[in-house]
Structures are given as C-alpha cells and as structure tokens.
Amino acid sequence: MTGTGSAAGGGDGRRTSSRAAGAGWVALGSLLALAGVAAGAFGAHGLRGRLEPEALQVFEVAVRYQMYHALALVLVGLLAQGPGKVV
C-alpha cells in the first residue's frame, strides 16, 4: 500500500510541475503577443510614409508571423496544463 501512495504522490507533483510550465508558456506567449501588437501599431502609425511600400509589407508579414508564434505558445501552454484547463 505504501508503494501505491508514493506513486500517486509522484504523479501529483508531475502534474503540478506541468501546470506551472504551462502557465509559463502562456505568460511568454502573452508577452510576445503584446510585443506583436505594439510592433504592428508602430508599423501602422509610425512607419507609414517613412518606408517604401515593399519594406512596409515585409514588416507587416514579420509582425503577422510574430503573432502566429505567440498564439502557438499560448496554445502549447494551455495544452500543457491538462485537458481540464483548455476551454
């Protein structure tokens, strides 16, 4: 019986660690999404008229990819927290 109790305790610690790691990925993804929004606003308002249209288009694509990756990190974090946390 004692062996079963210690195995269950180890599982709980692993689950808690996974949730904490998942929360870290969600936080990192959120910060990178914030940076993407800020870069997009800067490009739309600060760089328009200062860059050639081709250069502005490259900047917009880079910001779009930044957002895709930030959202992917948030999703990874939510999935790492377990099936009960993903809504």
What's the mean pLDDT in 62-73? 98
| Vertex 52: Cα angle to 49 and 58 (nearest 5) | 110
87 lies in a domain? no
pLDDT band at 85 (very low <50, low <70, confident <90, very high): low
86 lies in a domain? no
Distances (CA, A) of 4 to 14, 15, 25, 64: 16, 17, 32, 49
Q: What is the pLDDT of residues 2-61, one digit of tens each?
A: 555 444 445 555 666 777 889 999 999 999 999 999 999 999 999 989 999 999 999 999
Q: What's the pLDDT at 17? A: 79
Query: How many domains does the chain divide into?
Result: 1
85 lies in a domain? no
The pTM score is: 0.73
Q: Distance between CA 17 and CA 37 in Å, rounded?
A: 30
